[in-house]
Amino acid sequence: MLKYCLLSILFAGLSCVSVSGDGQVHTKGRHNHLVSVIKPVMPERFRGAYNHTLYYDDRAGGDCQPNCPQIDIWQYEYLGKVSSKPISTQKAFWKSPKEARIIAYSLFGKNPIYYQGLLGFLKSFQTLKRLNNIQDKIWGFDTFVPRVYIPKRNPNGPMKDTPLEGELEPYQIQTLLEAGCELVYVDNGLKKASKDATFWRFMVAAEPMPEGQKIRYIVHDADWIMTGAEAFAVGEWMALGHQYHRSHLQPICLGPLTASWWAGSHTGKGSFADLKEAISFFPYRMKYGDDELFLRDIMWPRMKQSGSILTHVTKRTWVSNVVSPYQGSCEEPTKSYCNSMNLDNQCEDLELPENMEYPYKELSFRKGLAKLEKKPKFFDMKLQTERGRRVYEALKL
C-alpha cells in the first residue's frame, strides 16, 4: 500500500512536466501538486520561495503599496575616493582595458555567514588560479571590481536621525575597502534594510555608459564561493559574446533567473534604464524570493527580447521534474522561450564539459573556501580542453 501511494505521488508530480507534440516547451502549465507534499520538510527560505515567488502569491495586494521603499544610492567609495556617482566604471578605474567589469553583491544584516562568505568568495579567485596553474599576474576575476551594495543612512536624507538596522560594522567596511571592493551606500528610507536590500545589486544593470564604452556585470550572492564550473561558464559566456548569461548548474531549478546567478552587458543606457522606477513600484519587496519574482516578471522578458542569452545547464533528472513548481518554470530550452519574444534570436543552452563537477550540495550547506579547497576537482576549469583554452583566452587581461 505504501509503495502504491509513493508511486501515485511521484506520477502526480511528473504529470505537470510535459512537452507538446511539436517538441516545443510551452510557457504555461499545471502546478506541480507534489510540491505541497515536499514543501513542509524544506528549509524555511525554500518554503518562502515556493509560497510566493515560484508557486503562488499569498499576499494579494503586496506588502509595501502605496509607499514602497525607494533606492537612495547616495555615495560610492573606491580606492580612497568618494563620489555620488559610480567610480569603478569610469574608464580610468577599469581593471580591464576592454570594458568595465563588475561583480555586484548586496550585503546587509548581522549574520556573519554572508560577510565571511564574501571574503571567501574574493579569496577563491586566487584559488582558481593556483589550482589551474595560471601564471598570469592578472587573470580571470582579477579583472572585475567587486561592488558591494550596503545599507547606510544618508546624513542628508529625511531619515537622517533614525538608525538604520542592518548596517555593517566600521571594521567590516574597512576590510572590504582594503580588499579592493567598491562600496555603494544605500538608504531605503526604512528602519531596517530587510530583504528589500536584495534588489539593490540589480542596479548595476541600469548604469549608463558613455558612447563607445561597455559594462559587463555579474550579479552574485555574497556567500557563494566561485568554483571551477561557474568560472568556466562565465568565461565561456564572455568568449561567445551573448549579452546575457544564466547559470543553471544545479539539478534543481525553480525559476528562469536565479537572483545570485545571472550576468549581462550593455553599452549606452542598456535595456534597464528605468530599473530604479520599476523596483520602486514593485509591490513585493520584503520576503525571501521577492527578488527572483521581480527578475522573472520584469527583467527576464526584456532579456528574452534581446535575443542574446546563453544558459549553462546541467543534465535534468527526475528530481528536477519532481521539485519544479510548475511546468516550464525554468524556461528551458532557452531558445524556445526567446522565440516568444524575438524569432530572430541567438539564444542557446550549453552543458558543462563532461566530468566537470559543480559542488552545489556543499555550497548549499555553506561550506567555506577552506573545506572546498580540500577537493581540487571543485576548482578544475578543464583549461586543457578546446573549450577550456577558449575560456582561458576570454578571461585574460
pLDDT of residue 287: 83
In a domain, 131, yes or no: yes
Q: Which residues contact 46 (CB under 8 A, 6 or more apart)?
A: 39
In a domain, 182, yes or no: yes
C-alpha span between 309 and 65 (Å, rounded)? 33
Domains: count for the chain: 1
In a domain, 12, yes or no: no
**pLDDT tens digits, one per residue of 182-235:** 999 999 999 999 899 999 999 999 999 999 999 999 999 998 999 999 999 999
pLDDT of residue 298: 94
Residues spanned by the domain of 326: 25-394
In a domain, 20, yes or no: no
Residue 236: other Cβ atoms inside 10 A: 22
Q: Is 342 exposed, middle or buried (0-12, 13-18, 19+ CB in 10 A)?
A: middle
H, E, C per residue of the chain = CHHHHHHHHHHHHHCCCCCCCCCCCCCCCCECCCHHHHHHHCCHHHHHHHHHHHCCCCCCCCCCCCCCCCCEEEEEEECCEEECCCCCCCHHHCCCCCCEEEEEEECCCCCHHHHHHHHHHHHHHHHHHHHCCCCCCCEHHHHCEEEEEEECCCCCCCCCCCCCECCCCHHHHHHHHHCCCEEEEEECCCCECCHHHHHHHHHHHHCCCCCCCEEEEEEECCCCCCCHHHHHHHHHHHHHCCCEEEEECCCCCCCCCCCCEEEEEEECCCCCCCHHHHHHCCCCCCCCCHHHHHHHHHHHHHHHHHCCEEEEECCCCHHHHHHCCECCCCCCCHHHHHCCCCCCCCCEEEECCCCCCCCHHHHHCCCCHHHHCCCHHHHCCCCCCHHHHHHHHHCEC
Q: Which residues contact 365 (CB under 8 A, 6 or more apart)?
A: none
pLDDT of residue 48: 63
Query: 587573470: which residue's cell?
Result: 139
> How many residues make up the chain in this entry?
397
pLDDT of residue 328: 86
In a domain, 332, yes or no: yes
Q: Is 21 exposed, middle or buried (0-12, 13-18, 19+ CB in 10 A)?
A: exposed
In a domain, 14, yes or no: no
pLDDT of residue 61: 66
In a domain, 73, yes or no: yes
Q: Which residues of the chain have pLDDT under 50?
A: 1-28, 53-55, 57
In a domain, 2, yes or no: no
pLDDT of residue 320: 78
pLDDT of residue 9: 32
